[in-house]
Amino acid sequence: MAAGRKVMSNAGVAAALVVLLVVAAASSVAGVCKVDTGSMVRNCRTYCTVGSTEASPSSACCGAVRGGDFHCLCQYRSVLPNDIDANRAMQIPGKCGYGAANC
**Mean of the pLDDT values across residues 21-36?**
65
- Best CATH choice for the domain 10-96 from the list 1.10.1510, 1.10.3470, 3.30.70, 1.10.110: 1.10.110
**Mean of the pLDDT values across residues 87-101?**
74
**Mean of the pLDDT values across residues 59-76?**
80
Nearest alpha-carbon partner for 50 in 15, 17, 20, 84: 84
Task: Judge whether residue 51 has pLDDT over 80.
Answer: yes
Domain limits, the chain? 10-96
What HEC string does 34-57 produce?
Answer: CEEHHHHHHHHHHHHECCCCCCCC
Q: Among 3-12, 33-42, 94-103, which stretch is predicted with the lowest mean pLDDT? A: 3-12
Task: Judge whether residue 32 has pLDDT over 60.
Answer: yes
Task: Judge whether residue 7 has pLDDT over 60.
Answer: no
Tell me the whole-structure pTM to 2 decimals.
Answer: 0.66
- Rounded Cα distance between 60 and 43, Å, is 6
